Structure 1
């Protein structure tokens, strides 16, 4: 059966959160290190890399990554859903200044990795703190506030809601996400945000497949982002097991990834604006989607075991696979474990966003009818 809208929204948001939680504890490591640490590949929820010493162990202290805890990818995604709830319409860069910044600064939420209620600003990475610094304190033009920030996956990682609000309309999702992300990122970081939102929207098209999603992404992506997706997709087509795909996909994306081989020690040219580069996370997520043939479990576990920024990779792969197949595609035992461990209602944001999606579509349809009538009057030969 073709999943209905609400099911796809739930699949995407719940799927993204579960992927995030599975990838968190192995973020920053290599596939070889993951294999050695866990005595095999990660196949579900695992504990912190450093066990009980997570509060003080470097390089990620004091975050409790693991045991089913979501990371800042999910915190930012849910914050953007709340902005959509408030605006109940399409967003732009000004919505980030007017609504997302207060979400980060003023609204305490439960932070699973801190095991405490705190402001999201106290958990998000430096690239996300930039939003507050530039917009609240620097009073930058929201459309240009992302200029000068670290160019990474920070904006892309939470753009699934934009794709869902524009479900089955990838071009519109791309345009809206590029506008929203202008307040956060520039260059290929902003581009990735647009392409990821478009991929989620494309996954909502009835009859969509992993291949059709990637083809849609290729049709919209620009510069290094497009080249990176094309290179990874070509390699991914030769694999149906993520184990054999791990090294080939890394080699395919490496020429476009500015971070370099040592994820924790990037070079001086890393994360700087460029038309030749791409973030690593989105092409790899799309590649794992192809390797897994759109299957949620295979696609997400491929992203998790890839290592490096694997929580964001698995977040993106999980969102797209969840949008393709609906909530039933996300293993129920993972959903239960993550929701309980993170102390979050993973379904409430989806329910809220699905209502907004319907409202936005109704207004868009009405606006289109008005435009169509005006255009018909303009072109009526009788006049």
Structure 2
């Protein structure tokens, strides 16, 4: 049943989105990179909650994920980057741009040791994030590139999209504003359809925060803003998703629908030669599938996240996005899951939401003052015209 979004406060939506994203991330981590059939065989059925590492106690040395302890409720770099972006908002207390990424996010990744759940140790976040995220440090700190253009040349993937939920939340109920802000921010990290996906995901989160929002309204908003292959991929995946009400029957059809737009290819761990290169015809896989699972589930958090997890491939990022969207719609995150993830990851999953809610209210008030100043100046110019 779709939650009663009109009864959900801003704080509840921000909390639902950020906690929901972290829990989805933790559930997807241990099966990331595998196919639905491999997941089914490994777990003797579908994953229905928090599970242990794929290789059991051999996780420290087993390739290809060693030395990361994926599973047992540990969040991955998706959540580490999301929380880092919240900290940037907390420092700036206003809308962000690519320069804020260079001035604040990069130093945060490089200079402040934090608890890294998958390493079971304190370390610089830089030592955990993926190579596509290390690009931020290489290009902005060492390369001194223009932050607005630094994403060019990076592999095109979901690296920027996976942590853009805070942008949508700061722009709650203003999808166009979220799209524009995320597009600027993501220019420091990604280009092409990776940058586009970051902007569309932020817009979708903002749309999910609107009173009365539904999965259909979220998808419609995403389609109204998305460009090129990203738009077509979302349209075709969600069209297929609308024919299903259970993730099990949707797993293969959603993959079939997104495959023409996905450059990685059928073997996730052995990408094709054309993988992750700029294109106007292609899209990342994770965002269309997350929106598809949101559609299949009718906005139900548990269903959307479990569908994303059992889809496999880059399922921690897919479940991060689906979890953020369902949480923003107001569907409750199972308390048993959030409690286990918080304890296992040794992270306060609720504190970033409290911080971001406070910052969001401040930014809104600043936006109101700026808008009124503009209205006043425009009126002084004789701008308003009364229609006959």
TM tier, smaller: over 0.9
**Counterpart of 1:141 in 2: which secondary structure?**
coil
2:367 aligned to 364, 367, 377, which one? Answer: 364
Corresponding residue number in structure 2 for 1:129: 134
State which of 331, 336, 340 in structure 2 corresponds to 1:333: 336
Work out the CA distance in 2 between the residues paired with 1:70 and 1:34: 19
- Show the counterpart of 1:119: 124
Partner of 1:240: 245
Specify the alignment match of 1:198 in structure 2: 203
SS at match of 1:110: strand
Is 2:5 the partner of 1:15?
Answer: no
Shift of 1:381: 8.3
Quick one: distance in 1 between partners of 2:103 and 2:245?
Answer: 45
Measure the CA separation in 1 of the matches of 2:358 and 2:37.
44
| Counterpart in the other structure of 2:92 | 87
Report SS of the residue matched to 1:63. coil
2:281 aligned residue: 276
| Corresponding residue for residue 50 of structure 2 | 45
Partner of 2:320: 315
Structure 2 Cα separation of the partners of residues 151 and 43 of structure 1: 31
Which of the numbers 104, 115, 122 marks the counterpart of 2:109? 104
Unaligned segments of structure 2, at least 5 residues? none
CA distance in 1, matches of 2:147, 2:314: 27
Matched, 1:223 2:224: no
* Equivalent residue for 1:351, pick from 348, 351, 354: 354
* TM-score of the superposed pair, with normalisation by structure 1: 0.98
Aligned to 1:154: 159
* Offset of residue 294 of structure 1: 0.4
Contact 2:378 2:384 in 1 (8 A): no
Does 2:380 match 1:374?
Answer: no
Question: What's the offset of the Cα at 1:373?
Answer: 1.1
> Could you list the per-position Cα deviations for residues 236-270 of structure 1 after superposition, in whole angstroms to 9, with x for gaps in the alignment?
00000000000000000000000000000001110
State how far apart, in whole Å, the 1-side matches of 2:268 and 2:384 are. 63
- Return the offset for 1:379: 2.1
SS state at 2:189 partner: coil
The verdict on how the C-alpha distance between 1:26 and 1:380 changes in structure 2, with shifts beyond 3 A counting, is closer
Q: Aligned equivalents of 1:102 and 1:46: distance in 2?
A: 34
Structure 1 CA distance for aligned equivalents of residues 278 and 111 of structure 2: 31
Give me the whole-angstrom Cα distance separating, in 2, the residues matched to 1:203 and 1:108. Answer: 34
State which of 69, 76, 83 in structure 2 corresponds to 1:78.
Answer: 83
Distance 2:269 2:325 in 1: 27
Residue 35 (str. 1) matches residue 40 (str. 2)? yes
* Alignment-derived partner of residue 286 in structure 1: 291
Could you tell which deviates more after superposition, 317-326 or 337-346?
A: 317-326
Which residue matches 1:143? 148
